[in-house]
């Protein structure tokens, strides 16, 4: 019986330090992504894609931020994806590849004022042990995963910066 009380006490003791640290989850009321501080939702126009990878990144960013015909912010990016061989047999046959990606982004106003910018990087891998078709499908899937990872990193940084952005609302939205 005493051990149950001890577990409860230790559990409460572990939670107490978090109560005063000032941590606010991004999606909590008052957080950077909450409804009251979400100037990005349906207010960002993402740059038009030129390649398949850019299309995948743009699609993911629009899924997360929304799509608008009356942009308050413009999001431009530069995407670079490189492939490297990482598992090579003694016969010089590559069995595994890594795709490394880097996306630099810039959030601006329609007048060109830079509000936020940065660079995100990550990687993913795929196997090349199957047929040519299977290897190509694995590469395409890895590219889709990589653009999703990079898109999520961009959105996370934009959400973190949301409280510092101008409190402009979408032109279609009523102002208080």
Beta strands in 5-52, from DSSP E residues, in sequence order: 44-46
Average pLDDT over residues 152-173: 74
Q: In this predicted structure, what is the pLDDT of residue 68? A: 85
Report yes or no on 48 lying in a domain: yes
Q: In this predicted structure, what is the pLDDT of residue 142? A: 97
Q: Structural domain of residue 122, as residue ranges?
A: 40-164
Average pLDDT over residues 57-83: 93
Q: Which residue has the tokens 């003694």?
A: 90
| The two three-digit tokens of residue 103, written as one number | 């996306």
Neighbours of 84 (CB within 10 A): 12
Report yes or no on 160 lying in a domain: yes
pLDDT tens for each residue of 40-57: 888 899 999 999 999 999
Report yes or no on 67 lying in a domain: yes
CA distance readout (Å), 40 to 6, 34, 112, 158, 159? 46, 11, 17, 8, 8
The three state secondary structure string of 31-45 is: CCCCHHHCCCCCCEE
Residues 6+ away with beta carbon under 8 Å from 151: 57, 60, 61, 64, 103
Separation between Cα atoms, residue 170 and residue 42, nearest integer Å: 7
Neighbours of 126 (CB within 10 A): 22
pLDDT tens for each residue of 81-101: 999 999 888 888 889 999 999
Report yes or no on 154 lying in a domain: yes
Report yes or no on 102 lying in a domain: yes
Split into its structural domains, the chain has a count of 1
Query: What secondary structure letter does DSSP report for 75?
Result: E
Report yes or no on 78 lying in a domain: yes
Query: Whole-prediction pTM value?
Result: 0.76
Q: Which residue has the higher pLDDT, 35 or 148?
A: 148
Residue 63 is part of a domain; what is its CATH number?
Answer: 3.30.160.150
Report yes or no on 112 lying in a domain: yes
Report yes or no on 84 lying in a domain: yes
């Amino acid at each position: 019986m005493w051990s149950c009380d001890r577990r409860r006490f230790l559990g409460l003791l572990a939670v107490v330090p978090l109560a005063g640290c000032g941590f606010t989850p991004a999606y909590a009321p008052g957080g950077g992504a909450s409804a009251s501080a979400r100037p990005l939702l349906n207010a960002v126009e993402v740059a038009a894609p030129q390649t398949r990878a850019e299309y995948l990144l743009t699609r993911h960013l629009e899924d997360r931020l929304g799509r608008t015909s009356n942009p308050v912010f413009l999001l431009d990016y530069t995407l670079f994806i490189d492939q490297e061989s990482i598992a090579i047999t003694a016969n010089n046959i590559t069995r595994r590849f890594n795709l490394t990606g880097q996306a630099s982004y810039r959030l601006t106003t329609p007048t060109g004022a830079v509000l936020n910018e940065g660079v995100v990087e990550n990687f993913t891998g795929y196997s090349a042990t199957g047929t040519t078709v299977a290897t190509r499908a694995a590469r395409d899937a890895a590219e889709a995963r990589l653009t999703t990872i990079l898109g999520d990193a961009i959105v996370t940084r934009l959400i973190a910066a949301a409280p510092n952005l101008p409190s402009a609302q979408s032109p279609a939205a009523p102002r208080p």
